[in-house]
């Protein structure tokens, strides 16, 4: 009977996904003039306080990344320059990481 083997394999495939979601993070970023603002939260909606954030200037890759930690409410901000593209990367507990790209609009 092949059905139990297929069902068992499907259950095994879903287990790691459930575990990753339970410990996962969410990252949202937005442009606010020439400032990059964002929020990091855990998959349960709780703010991710104290997580490590880096912002890389993709327009000028030789530039050292800006670095900070999220505030108690999970928020962070970086000064930027209009027209440049940035990669924002958060690294959390257990080496979970996320990244987003954003181009700051020109006036």
Place of tokens 């901000």: 77
Q: How confident is the model at residue 6 (pLDDT cuts 50, 70, 90)?
A: very low
CA distances from 20 to 26, 42, 44, 48, 104 (A): 12, 11, 12, 16, 31
Record the pTM.
0.75
What tens digit of pLDDT does each residue of 25-81 get? 899 999 999 999 999 999 889 999 999 999 999 999 999 999 999 999 999 999 999
Q: Which domains does the chain have, with CATH numbers?
A: 3-103 (2.60.40.1940)
């Amino acid at each position: 009977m092949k059905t139990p083997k297929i069902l068992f394999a499907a259950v095994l495939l879903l287990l790691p996904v459930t575990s990753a979601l339970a410990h996962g993070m969410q990252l949202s970023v937005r442009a606010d003039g020439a400032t990059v603002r964002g929020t990091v939260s855990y998959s349960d909606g709780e703010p991710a306080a104290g997580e490590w954030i880096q912002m890389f200037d993709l327009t000028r890759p030789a530039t050292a990344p800006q670095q900070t930690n999220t505030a108690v409410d999970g928020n962070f901000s970086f000064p930027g320059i209009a027209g440049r593209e940035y990669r924002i990367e958060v690294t959390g507990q257990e080496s979970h990481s996320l990244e987003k790209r954003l181009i700051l609009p020109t006036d």
